């Protein structure tokens, strides 16, 4: 069974802490840093169009969507066209904090823009209160602690539709951990919400925590973020209180495929979409 790596808000620094609490706080801070700062996204300049022949996309890791922090680099950039055929972006420029890409949209239908599944850093996880947590790089692992090695595997997706939506790109499989849309991602409205299913290797994941961030939500009072959990069949029905651009993402640790560099992988998958009025 997959083990969920909990997502916790960053802890504010305090002037003093009891010594007995320092190890627990370090574990939570390490988990929080990994869970938040490592969330990748794709953000196109438009989600629907009548006749645009290309779309421009930014891709980055962020903890404040959609303000870029660290540019995403990938060997698996993928564009899935309206008929399900795969290609890649027509232009790409990597900067320090953001990667800018262009994708051609010559035909009517939906285009899926994706980082592909990216294999990232390898590092230790440590067992804390029965839950495997990422351990901050460079820290000394306490004597006697139970550890294992893990590698990150991330996917970030967005969809752009020219004219009427098509389904083939939505049904394409990219990566082990999927946020599989039931509602077409370019057909999401405030009054009807968005439905999807969390899948791992094609199988539903029950009780999986999913984060929802609204673009600019950090500037709201209070700051807007939402957490939901999948049902027993892996399904999630999201509702929204405002139109806008949203980042939906989830993370879990699970066994890696046979022959992988580590026994487990920390999977993170995100989807950026626009909720229309």
Distance of CA 188 to the CA centre of its chain: 19
* pLDDT on residue 35: 37
* pLDDT on residue 20: 35
* pLDDT on residue 16: 36
Q: Is 140 inside any structural domain?
A: yes
Q: Is 178 inside any structural domain?
A: yes
- Secondary structure (3-state) at 31: helix
Q: Is 2 inside any structural domain?
A: no
* pLDDT on residue 8: 35
* pLDDT on residue 143: 84
pLDDT by residue for the chain (277 residues), tens only, comes to 444 433 333 333 333 333 333 333 333 333 333 334 489 999 999 999 999 999 999 999 999 999 999 999 999 999 999 999 999 999 999 999 999 999 999 999 999 999 999 999 999 999 888 888 888 777 788 888 899 999 999 999 999 999 999 999 999 999 999 999 999 999 999 999 999 999 999 999 999 999 999 999 988 988 899 999 999 999 999 999 999 999 999 999 999 999 999 999 999 999 999 999 9
Q: Is 4 inside any structural domain?
A: no
Place of tokens 């680099």: 73
Report how far apart the first and last C-alpha atoms of the chain are (Å, whole number): 39
Closest CA to 230 of 250, 249, 207, 213: 207
What's the rounded Cα separation, in Å, for the pair 95 and 172?
29
* pLDDT on residue 63: 93
DSSP state of 117: P
Q: Is 12 inside any structural domain?
A: no
Domain hosting residue 84, numbered range = 19-275
How many domains in the chain?
1
> pTM score, two decimals?
0.85
Q: Is 3 inside any structural domain?
A: no
Q: How many CB atoms lie within 10 A of CB 257?
A: 9
């Amino acid at each position: 069974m997959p083990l969920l790596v909990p997502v916790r808000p960053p802890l504010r620094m305090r002037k003093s802490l009891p010594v007995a609490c320092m190890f627990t706080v370090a574990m939570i801070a390490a988990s929080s840093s990994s869970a938040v700062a490592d969330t990748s996204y794709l953000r196109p300049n438009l989600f629907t169009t009548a006749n645009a022949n290309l779309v421009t996309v930014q891709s980055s890791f962020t903890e404040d969507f959609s303000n870029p922090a660290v540019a995403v680099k990938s060997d698996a950039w993928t564009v899935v066209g309206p008929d399900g055929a795969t290609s890649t972006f027509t232009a790409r420029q990597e900067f320090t904090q953001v990667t800018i890409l262009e994708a051609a949209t010559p035909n009517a239908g939906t285009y899926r823009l994706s980082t592909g599944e990216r294999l990232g850093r390898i590092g230790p996880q440590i067992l804390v209160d029965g839950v495997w947590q990422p351990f901050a790089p460079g820290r000394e692992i306490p004597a006697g602690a139970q550890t294992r090695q893990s590698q990150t595997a991330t996917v970030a997706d967005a969809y752009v539709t020219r004219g009427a939506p098509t389904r083939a790109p939505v049904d394409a499989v990219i990566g082990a951990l999927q946020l599989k849309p039931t509602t077409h991602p370019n057909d999401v409205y405030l009054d009807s919400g968005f439905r999807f299913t969390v899948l791992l290797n094609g199988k539903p994941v029950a009780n999986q925590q999913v984060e929802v961030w609204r673009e600019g939500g950090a500037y709201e009072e209070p700051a807007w973020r939402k957490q939901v959990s999948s049902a027993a069949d892996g399904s999630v029905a999201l509702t929204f209180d405002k139109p806008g651009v949203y980042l939906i993402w989830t993370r879990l640790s699970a066994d890696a495929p046979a022959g992988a560099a580590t026994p487990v992988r920390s999977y993170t998958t995100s989807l950026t979409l626009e909720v229309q009025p």
